[in-house]
Amino acid sequence: MKKTIIRQGFYRDSVSLMQVSKEVSESCISALIAMATELNCDLAIQMGFELPKVSPNDLLICLETQSEGNIEDLLEQIDQIFSRKDMEAKKSKSDTGAEPTQSIGKSFDTSLALISVPGNYAFVEAMSALHAGKNVMIFSDNVPIEEEKILKDFAQRNRLIVMGPDCGTSIIGGYGLGFANKVNRGRVGIIAASGTGAQQVSTLLDRSGIGISHCFGLGGRDLSKQIQGISALTAFDFLESDQETEIIVLISKPVDPSVLPLIQNKIASSKKSVIEILLGSSDSNITDALHPLIKRAAITLPKPKEYSKKLKGMFAGGTLCDESMLMSRTAIIGDISSNVPIVGVEKIDPFEVYENHTFIDFGDDGMTQGRAHPMIDGSIRSDLVEREISAPSTGVIIMDIILGFGAQLDPLESLRTPLKLAQERGVPVAISLIGMGLHADGGRMMTKPYAAGGAYISRMTNYCGGCKYNPKLRVGENACPFTTLYWDFLDRHREDFSKNHRMAQQVRGLDRLSDLPELRIQAKKWLT
């Protein structure tokens, strides 16, 4: 049976809700636990759930189970998970073991507040931090531009900086924020009105043996007509006064014409070497623009002819999406469509199918309302990649996989099914990997013991269709052996796995199993 529960005014962040949904889905046929945004409501309806009138501030709980009794058990489980997460958050807040911040330049303190709340709450939290004398990084998106202007004007008057809103990547004093990667310290400071652009530049420089002093993310609107580059100009001042920084790299999507003279005057007056990477102002790509610095041969791409099959770009990073469109437009490959169009590109609804060359930025504000960023949850992108692979007009899929501290631990997890389909259909998939091999663990070896239960095997393969065992059952005569033995394996090695940070979530799952004694008995039967 299917049931929808609405909890009015019950807010939780999208990452937490994604984790709760994942835990609960293992105990039922299907589950969707998310804020009641338009996108999530559409998804619930597609899953076959009926919805009452809701608002985006309401919590949406959609559960499909075998019986009514199971619903009550699942709701109790959900409440327990929320309580556990609230306790973990309180414990984290009380932890005073954090390393002290470092200074930028001669007179600026880098102590800052990282704001990651729904867009309509971000202004209050950010202004409170500014009044406390803190620099601010706003990870939140969907913040009204009028509020952004007020925050940045206040920060400028008080010699502070606001990075964002919609700032996904910064590196301050060697500490990566948001989706930043682990890179070496060095002499290059980055000012980025582009999150994935910041990642691409910082990792390219790191691989070339050139480290990063600081990277200031600005958010996507700082260089707009309304904001007038307030944070960009402040970041220039910070880096000018910073003794570590010898070279400044500015990377941005197209700059508003009214702002360009302000930026150019600041660059002209700089005592330090400045490299501009303004996408759309020339045909060069990011790697070419950095060529003088990294002393590598410039990359020259062949200009393709017009083909009957179409190029489909499916990006988590907006800058990589823009760069791909610019290069494709220069190559004259035919009509181009996008949900984030540049000059000469048709604007489209990303959920519709189009016959043109298509480029979709899944990190755009319109696609992240009430949902985690695609670097955190790649499920929507995975669904649309699979759709495009199945389309007869698709010739090549290009996409990015972006590593970083805040990104999902296994970014390929959601892409395994579409990539397998692409292989079967003979559709080439070109992937741009952004990030370092040891990107988020401080240089330690990254490990993940891999074992799977029946539910995962059923979801990722077609092997379970004719099987008499139920992959969702752990005990009983119809229980799947893989499911039983998966949980038994975790139980027998709990002590070892609890020491591995990649296995923490799986081990915690044992604590909610009420049938663990019966499961152990059944596992012994299977093993003998």
Q: How far apart are alpha carbons 380 and 168 in whole angstroms?
A: 19
The CATH topology of domain 454-527 is Arc Repressor Mutant, subunit A (1.10.10)
Cβ(25)–Cβ(31) under 8 Å?
yes
Tokens 């620099």: give the residue.
135
Question: What CA–CA distance (Å, rounded) separates 20 from 33?
Answer: 7
Length of the chain in terms of residues written: 528
Number of Cβ within a 10 Å radius of residue 327: 16
Region of 513 please: left (phi>0), alpha (psi -120 to 50) or beta.
beta
So what's the pLDDT on residue 332? 59
State CA 103 to chain mean position distance: 28
- Residue 429: enclosing H or E segment and its boundaries? strand 429-434
Q: What are phi and psi of 17, to 5 degrees?
A: -65, -35
Pair of tokens at residue 230: 């307030």
What CA–CA distance (Å, rounded) separates 321 from 314?
A: 8
CA–CA distance, 155 with 157 (Å, rounded to integer): 5
d(CA 54, CA 324): 38
Q: Which CATH architecture has domain 310-434?
A: 3-Layer(aba) Sandwich (3.40)
**Torsion-angle region of 429 (φ positive above 0: left; ψ -120 to 50: alpha; else: beta):** beta
Q: Count other C-beta atoms under 10 Å from residue 76's C-beta.
A: 10
CA 373, CA 141: separation in Å to the nearest integer? 10
Closest by CA position to 205, among listed 145, 295, 143: 295
Distance in angstroms (rounded) separating the CA atoms of residues 51 and 60: 9
The answer to whether 406 and 375 are in contact (CB under 8 A) is yes
Secondary-structure breakdown of the chain: helix, strand, coil percentages, each rounded to the nearest 5: 40, 20, 40
DSSP β-bridge partners for residue 277: 251
Other Cβ atoms within 10 Å of 255 Cβ, number: 23
Query: Structure tokens of 87?
Result: 């306790």
Residue owning tokens 């949900």: 339
Instruction: Give the Cα separation of 521 and 506 in Å (integer).
Output: 21
Q: In sequence order, what DSSP letters do the residues of 264-308 get, joined into one string?
A: HHHHHH-SSEEEEEETTSSS--HHHHTHHHHT-PPP--------S
What's at 158, amino acid-wise? N
Buried b (16+ CB within 10 A) or exposed e, 491-504: beeeeebeeeeebe
Q: Along the 528 residues of the chain, how does pLDDT read in single tens digits?
A: 899 999 987 877 777 788 888 888 888 888 999 888 777 888 888 888 999 988 877 889 999 988 877 888 899 899 998 888 777 766 654 554 433 333 233 334 558 899 988 787 788 889 888 988 899 999 988 888 999 999 999 999 999 999 999 998 999 988 889 888 888 899 999 999 988 889 989 988 887 778 899 999 999 899 999 999 999 999 999 999 999 999 999 998 878 999 999 999 999 999 999 998 887 665 557 777 777 776 543 334 344 455 578 999 999 988 889 888 888 876 657 789 999 988 788 899 888 877 889 999 998 888 887 778 898 888 889 999 999 999 988 999 999 998 887 788 788 888 999 999 999 999 999 998 887 544 444 444 445 556 788 888 887 788 888 899 999 899 999 999 999 999 999 999 888 888 776 677 778 888 888 899 999 999 998 888
Q: Could you give the CA distance from residue 498 to residue 212 in angstroms, rounded to a whole number?
A: 34
Chain centroid, CA 528 distance in Å: 45
Fold of 103-294: Rossmann fold (3.40.50)
Task: Name the strands in the sheet holding 112-115, side by side, starting at the edge strand that comes first in the sequence.
Answer: 112-115, 135-138, 162-163
Measure CA of the first residue to CA of the last residue in the chain; give whole Å: 36
Please report the DSSP string for 352-413 in residue order. Answer: S--SSEEEEETTSHHHHTTS--TTT--HHHHHHHHHHHHSTTEEEEEEEEE--TTS-S-TTG
Classify residue 100 by its DSSP letter.
P
Is 311 in contact with 355 (CB distance < 8 Å)?
no
Strand order in the sheet with 247-252: 175-178, 169-172, 212-217, 185-193, 247-252, 273-278
- pLDDT computed for residue 438 by the predictor: 47
Chain mean position to CA 212: 22
